[in-house]
Structure 1
Amino acid sequence: MVGVALGGVEGEEIEKRRRKLRVFSPEYYAVCGLGGMLSAGTTHFAVTPLDVLKVNMQVNPLKYNSIFSGLNILVKEQGLSSLWRGWGGKLFGYGAQGGCKFGLYEYFKKTYSDVFVGQDRSLIFLFSSASAQVIADVALCPFEAVKVRVQTEAKFAKGLVDGFPKLYASEGLSGFYKGLFPLWGRNLPFSVIMFTSFEHSVDLLYRNVIQKKKEDCSRAQQLGVTCIAGYTSGAIGTIVSNPADNIVASLYNKKFNSVWQAVKNIGFSSLFTRSLPIRFALVGPVVTLQWFFYDTIKVLTGLPTSGGIMDDELRTAKADVLIH
């Protein structure tokens, strides 16, 4: 009735807005969660061979000392199929993590925006990403525990189906979560850096490079910005999170029994350098594709692309509430 009463172009615009998925609605968070699950699960699954190599380089750096020689050793000794060990943990584990991470980030961003009115946006990005990642890693942890054992111990299990009961039988429930704190140590800094640098990179690109408002750019341009900002955020996050990633792999592989023992044996400087090249090759493209797939799903459902428009999103959401 509102659209009919106003008539003309203005009425049509309001009717279109009413038919579109509203930002910050329950349906909006559901789409973000689904988009995060699909984008994270599929991209991590696609790079399983590199992940298998990365984990083996972390737990046995003398044997697997470079990307190309490491791949040759794996294929020669264990066959081509060994490169896909742990694919279930990558697909389902990181799918669960991605759904929580992206969906809850959007939820917490709106919640903290209402709480910290007028505060620096970086604080909102920081608290939102950290809150989402804490929950996301609880979902990921059991899958990660089984995945690492499957990838580094050929006789442990074939995958999730036999790996879960075998790990539970040998180590109990604690076996699934003994790497949770190192996982938080790896993923919390990565997530905070990833989301914050992504948001600011998007702002920077629109203001100083494209010099146009997001809504004045084509969808292709917007998704291009998403890819550039996504790769930047992934590269920065990789450097920050590399020490904890090495510790997680060592703990789950039962190489060491404690974080301190892992740090002492790996060496402080090696924590930052071991497996860093393979992680750059792995994480950068994965994070870029995650953001691209995630924003493509949002665009296809009529939602704006991510980043750089938080204030506009909030105003749009308030306007939609008034219209409805």
Structure 2
Amino acid sequence: MYSSSLSKSARHIVSAEGPGALLTGLGPTIAGYCLQGAFKFGGYEYFKARAVDYLGQSTAANNRNAVYLGSAAAAEFLGDIALCPFESVRIRLVSQPGYATGCVSGLAKLAREEGIGGLYSGLGPILLKQIPYTMATFLVYEKAIQTAYSVVDKRELSSMGVTGINLGAGLVAGVAAAVVSQPADTMLSRINKERAVTGESTSRRLFRIASELGLRGAYTGMQARAVMVSGMTAVQFGIYGDIKKIFGATDGVELSEHHVAVDSYSEELQQAAV
């Protein structure tokens, strides 16, 4: 078993399998998470907008944490449907050297040998991992952004300054999300590495693996994953913010306390006019 230390793990892999082993599974990782990211970030803004339409700006803003969490969960569910086959292939490429030559051949082999069930064998654990992960990510990101802009006036920031805040908020959100999702990630890796016992249900299998791992085992490799996830999340939110700037939607769907105050003041003015 590789050490949980990031540097020691990297040296062990390079020594045992060569430098190229560090890039194993890169193809399905990029393809899967690009698709998942498109659904996740686009879906988050979509569901947040629909929540505002349904609840009204003031009610949505007063319950913004619930809106953030619900929108994130719905968007992530769609993203996971796209991600799951690529994640299944990635784990097999990493855990079974020589399984396939790349992403496309891996998908074809998995579909041929195990069918749709094989491609989506890890969907349950992925949902258990990714939905809490994304809920934590967006909630912490929104809180970090609101905290930053309570100290700094967004209108006075340069474009680079806004990007910097997006990156910083994404970094903080990534660390929080890594902690929340680590146990499910560990279980997902175990599920994809070993075949189920004949007649064993998915729920019983998950319970068995959780019992074998324990709390300490579930957080094995946390340091390495926190570094990877926080960096990846920071980059994602940096790109997310820049894309919103390109389309002139830098504010997205705002649900800050400022908007609650503005809406309340507007309602008071309307009542006074009547």
1:280-300 superposed Cα distances (whole Å, 9 cap, x missing partner): 110111101111122122223
2:9 paired residue number: 70
8 A Cα contact 2:49 2:253, kept in partner: no
1:1-40 superposed Cα distances (whole Å, 9 cap, x missing partner): xxxxxxxxxxxxxxxxxxxxxxxxxxxxxxxxxxxxxxxx
Q: Report the CA distance shift for 1:291/1:99 in structure 2 as closer, same or farther (over 3 A).
A: same
1:267 paired residue number: 214
8 A Cα contact 2:136 2:177, kept in partner: yes
Quick one: distance in 2 between partners of 1:157 and 1:79? 18
2:101 paired residue number: 158
Which amino acid in the other structure matches residue 169 of structure 1? R
One of 28, 33, 46 as aligned partner of 1:94: 33
8 A Cα contact 2:51 2:67, kept in partner: yes
Which amino acid in the other structure matches residue 183 of structure 2? P
Q: Report the CA distance shift for 1:113/1:309 in structure 2 as closer, same or farther (over 3 A).
A: closer
Local SS of the residue matching 2:250: coil
8 A Cα contact 2:69 2:139, kept in partner: yes
8 A Cα contact 1:200 1:308, kept in partner: no
Q: Find out whether 1:217 has 2:157 as its counterpart.
A: yes
Quick one: distance in 2 between partners of 1:233 and 1:250? 26
Q: Report the CA distance shift for 1:172/1:197 in structure 2 as closer, same or farther (over 3 A).
A: same
User: What is the TM-score when the length of structure 2 is the normalising length?
Assistant: 0.84
Q: CA deviation at 1:218?
A: 2.5
Quick one: distance in 1 between partners of 2:4 and 2:76? 31
8 A Cα contact 2:4 2:220, kept in partner: no
One of 282, 296, 307 as aligned partner of 2:242: 296
8 A Cα contact 2:125 2:187, kept in partner: yes
8 A Cα contact 1:202 1:307, kept in partner: no
8 A Cα contact 1:295 1:306, kept in partner: no
Quick one: distance in 2 between partners of 1:137 and 1:193? 16
Which amino acid in the other structure matches residue 250 of structure 1? R
Q: Report the CA distance shift for 1:226/1:289 in structure 2 as closer, same or farther (over 3 A).
A: same
Q: CA deviation at 1:309?
A: 5.8
One of 192, 210, 217 as aligned partner of 1:252: 192
1:49 paired residue number: none
1:243 paired residue number: 183
Local SS of the residue matching 1:172: helix
8 A Cα contact 1:203 1:307, kept in partner: no
Quick one: distance in 1 between partners of 2:255 and 2:128? 29
2:129 paired residue number: 186
8 A Cα contact 2:163 2:242, kept in partner: yes
Q: Report the CA distance shift for 1:152/1:306 in structure 2 as closer, same or farther (over 3 A).
A: farther
1:105 paired residue number: 44
Quick one: distance in 2 between partners of 1:128 and 1:194? 12
Q: CA deviation at 1:261?
A: 2.0
Local SS of the residue matching 1:99: helix
Q: CA deviation at 1:161?
A: 1.9
8 A Cα contact 2:25 2:91, kept in partner: yes
1:96-147 superposed Cα distances (whole Å, 9 cap, x missing partner): 0000000111110000111123141111111110000001001000000001
Percent identity of the aligned residues? Answer: 28
Quick one: distance in 2 between partners of 1:151 and 1:292? 28
Quick one: distance in 1 between partners of 2:206 and 2:141? 30
1:179-210 superposed Cα distances (whole Å, 9 cap, x missing partner): 11111111111101111111121111111x22
1:198 paired residue number: 141
Alignment of 1:42-57 (within 5 A): none
Local SS of the residue matching 1:267: helix
Task: Give the unaligned 5+ runs of structure 1.
Answer: 1-61, 316-324
2:225 paired residue number: 279
One of 83, 91, 94 as aligned partner of 1:148: 91
Q: Report the CA distance shift for 1:67/1:127 in structure 2 as closer, same or farther (over 3 A).
A: same
Q: CA deviation at 1:305?
A: 5.3
One of 124, 133, 138 as aligned partner of 2:67: 124
Q: Report the CA distance shift for 1:283/1:65 in structure 2 as closer, same or farther (over 3 A).
A: closer
User: What is the TM-score when the length of structure 1 is the normalising length?
Assistant: 0.72
1:41 paired residue number: none
